[in-house]
Amino acid sequence: MADRLITIAKFNDSYQANLAKQLLADFGIEAVVLGENFANLYPALPLQLVELQVCESESRQAKEILESGDPQEEAQED
């Protein structure tokens, strides 16, 4: 049986979601960004419409990576 995708994070814009997706890819975890087209069409809406999904079996590790390696924090430290 195939592993199902689950949402591990939500974002206000596709840029942040794709940064997180790339961070996970650096650790060998594939992720999918959903809702980025809608968020790009309606950027003024203050809703977290962009979702980052991973396989359920990798969700715990992915959440830990995102919590410990927040791309925004790393950019501010440089």
Q: Which structural domains are found in the chain, ordered by start?
A: 5-73 (3.30.70)
Backbone φ and ψ for 68, nearest 5 degrees, come out as -90, -20
Q: What is the per-residue pLDDT for 37? A: 76
**Residue 11 token pair:** 């974002």
Contact by Cβ (8 Å): 12, 47: yes
pLDDT score of 42 more than 90: no
- Alpha-carbon gap, residue 28 to 38, rounded angstroms: 27
Please tell me which residue, 42 or 58, carries the higher pLDDT value: 58
Both structure tokens of 9? 């994070």
Which of the four pLDDT bands, split at 50, 70 and 90, describes residue 54? Answer: very high
Tell me the sheet residues that pair with 50: 11
Is residue 6 within 8 Å of residue 47, measured between CB atoms?
Answer: no
